[in-house]
């Protein structure tokens, strides 16, 4: 759980600085207070205004600015954080930090801090491979600096190789691992959860949907975050409050939900609890459909993508654990076992949603956990308790 933690984020001058804006947003959504230092060259890539708008605080830039020093001295700036993150970390700032040079606000803060420092290097592949940079990186690691990335791939300079800044989600997972309080076994793991119904438009004012409240999916997202996972919740329309410490992405249709899920990858854990509409209207009307005396409209449907099956079937980036939910009205266990196989998921939480069960929209759930060919009946529990128990099972799974 990152809520209430504080980070000093140093943005040095690399094209990857634009990805740091996304990192600030994601940290903010998880309740992390982010204070920023923008180096002179960093300010060539992102503006102090965009950094300040996302962090909710001014971006500190100048060591010798009287305002900076009277409002917030560099010592306070470097100490009043739980962690200092340098992203992107250029070859230049790494070299200076390795040598103990303090000639601007960023490097001075790095020298003055008594907190752990995490660097996300980003540079051209030759610069990264250069003996000087490698020597500096080794020196920094020996000095206790932590590193995330760089990753291999297409570089902004047009070359392909190692030097790309780690993705914001990867940096975030590393941050949560470093700041995780004791008892957070999923720290460093990323989780994607779908929740709620989807809404499929008929025309601009009408839609088809279902009774899913989002209670169960939201509770799972909260439980995984409480266990330390960096959780992204992709939800259809729901009246449920955002779970604490979770990044929430709101969507309406099944196709938007799939897009948002794909954008959240890679993750270690995917839990698909959304009640996705199986069908959508083939051609929603662009204007409001009118009662024009010609009788009821004929609606034709096309099948929506199956998000769970898509994620479970990914050749690359398949999450290590994919968990589905199955709402059944009869033969709950048999149908769920078959569904688990058909959809290619690892586990499936099957529940009885027959009208007498009161599951849809209710507070309680009676579920069976399907793992491969095995099924385990859980007692009637609150949806919160189902989420916590599932979260513990997931944590145990990753603990090996």
Considering the complex, state which of residue 92 and residue 194 has its C-beta at the smaller distance from ligand C5P. 194
As measured in angstroms, the least distance from the Cβ of 318 to ligand C5P is: 14
Residues 244-263, one symbol each (x = binds ligand C5P by CB under 6 A, - = not), give ----------x---------
Q: Is the Cβ of residue 54 or residue 276 nearer to ligand C5P in the bound state?
A: 276
Q: Give me the least distance between CB of 247 and ligand C5P, in Å please.
A: 19
Do the Cβ atoms of 246 and 225 come closer than 8 Å? Answer: yes
Region from 179-187, 202-210, 300-308, 353-361 binding ligand C5P, contact rule CB under 6 A: 300-308
Of the candidates 14, 69, 73, 8, the one whose C-alpha atom is nearest the C-alpha of residue 37 is 8
With contacts defined by CB under 6 A, how many residues of the chain interact with ligand C5P? 15
Instruction: Return the number of the residue (55 or 235) whose C-beta is nearest ligand C5P.
Output: 235
Q: Which is nearer to ligand C5P, 51 or 326 (CB)?
A: 326
- Smallest distance from ligand C5P to CB 328, Å: 7
Radius of gyration, alpha carbons of the chain = 24
Q: Residues 10, 92: contact at Cβ < 8 Å?
A: no
Whether 184 and 225 have beta carbons less than 8 Å apart is answered as: no
Mind telling me the catalytic residues? 157
Residue with smaller CB distance to ligand C5P, 185 or 324:
324
Residue whose CB is less far from ligand C5P, 25 or 255: 255
Structure tokens given for 86: 């340098």
One of 193, 269, 272, 386 touching ligand C5P (CB under 6 A) = 272
CB nearer to ligand C5P: give 155 or 267: 267
CB 140 within 8 A of CB 111: no
Stretch of residues binding ligand C5P (CB under 6 A), selected from 5-13, 199-207, 233-241, 303-311: 303-311
Distance CA 14, CA 169 (A): 18
How far is residue 189's CA from residue 364's CA, in Å, rounded to a whole number?
A: 28
DSSP strand pairing (33-38 vs 59-60): parallel
Window 319-338: residues binding ligand C5P (CB under 6 A): 324-326
307 binds ligand C5P (CB under 6 A): yes
Question: How far apart are CB 325 and ligand C5P at their closest, in Å?
Answer: 4
Shortest distance in whole angstroms from residue 310 CB to ligand C5P: 8
Q: Is 386 in the site for ligand C5P (CB under 6 A)?
A: no
Name the residue nearer to ligand C5P (CB basis): 207 or 325. 325
Look at residues 238, 217, 236 and name the one whose alpha carbon lies nearest to residue 383: 217
The CB-of-41 to ligand C5P minimum distance in angstroms stands at 45
Q: How far is the CB of 1 from ligand C5P (least distance, A)?
A: 25
Residues 339-378 that bind ligand C5P (CB under 6 A): 339
Residue 390 interacting with ligand C5P (CB under 6 A) = no
Question: Would you count residue 267 as binding ligand C5P (CB under 6 A)?
Answer: no
What part of residues 85-144 is at the interface with ligand C5P (CB under 6 A)? none
Does the footprint of ligand C5P cover residue 220 (CB under 6 A)?
A: no
CB of 213 to ligand C5P, least distance (A): 14
276 touches ligand C5P by CB under 6 A: yes
Q: Which of residues 31-70 bind ligand C5P (CB under 6 A)?
A: none
For residues 340 and 197, give the distance between their C-alpha atoms in angstroms, rounded to a whole number.
Answer: 20
Contacting positions for ligand C5P (CB under 6 A): 194, 254, 272-274, 276, 278, 304, 306-308, 324-326, 339
């Amino acid at each position: 759980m990152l809520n209430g933690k504080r980070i000093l984020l140093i943005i040095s001058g690399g094209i990857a600085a634009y990805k740091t804006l996304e990192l600030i947003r994601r940290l903010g959504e998880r309740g992390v207070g982010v204070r920023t230092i923008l180096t002179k060259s960093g300010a060539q890539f992102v503006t102090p205004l965009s950094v300040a708008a996302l962090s909710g605080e001014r971006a500190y830039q100048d060591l010798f600015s009287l305002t900076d020093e009277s409002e917030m001295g560099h010592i306070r700036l470097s100490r009043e954080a739980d962690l200092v993150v340098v992203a992107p970390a250029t070859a230049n700032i790494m070299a200076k930090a390795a040598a103990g040079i303090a000639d601007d606000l960023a490097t001075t803060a790095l020298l003055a801090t008594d907190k752990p420092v995490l660097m996300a290097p980003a540079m051209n592949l030759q610069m990264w491979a250069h003996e000087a940079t490698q020597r500096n990186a080794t020196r920094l690691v020996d000095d206790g600096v932590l590193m995330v990335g760089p990753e291999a791939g297409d570089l902004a300079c047009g070359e392909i190789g190692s030097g790309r800044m780690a993705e914001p989600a990867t940096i975030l997972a590393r941050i949560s691992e470093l700041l995780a309080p004791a008892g957070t076994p999923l720290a460093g793991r990323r989780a994607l959860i779908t929740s709620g119904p989807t809404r499929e438009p008929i025309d601009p004012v009408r839609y088809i949907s279902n009774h899913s409240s989002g209670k169960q999916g939201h509770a799972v997202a909260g439980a995984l975050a409480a266990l330390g996972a960096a959780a992204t919740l992709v939800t259809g329309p729901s009246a449920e409050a955002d779970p604490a410490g979770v990044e929430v992405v709101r969507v309406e249709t099944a196709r938007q939900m799939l897009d948002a899920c794909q954008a959240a990858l890679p993750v270690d854990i995917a839990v698909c609890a959304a009640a996705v509409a199986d069908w959508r209207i083939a051609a929603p009307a662009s204007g409001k459909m009118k009662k024009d005396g010609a009788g009821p409209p004929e609606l034709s449907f096309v099948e929506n993508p199956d998000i769970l099956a898509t994620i479970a079937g990914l050749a690359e980036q398949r999450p290590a654990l994919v968990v589905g939910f199955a709402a059944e009205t009869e033969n709950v266990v048999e149908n769920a076992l078959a569904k688990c196989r058909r959809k290619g998921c690892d586990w499936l939480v099957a529940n009885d949603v027959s009208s007498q069960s009161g599951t849809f929209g209710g507070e309680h759930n009676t579920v069976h956990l399907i793992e491969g060919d095995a099924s385990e009946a859980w007692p009637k529990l609150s949806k919160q308790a189902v989420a916590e128990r599932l979260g513990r099972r997931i944590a145990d799974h990753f603990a090996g």
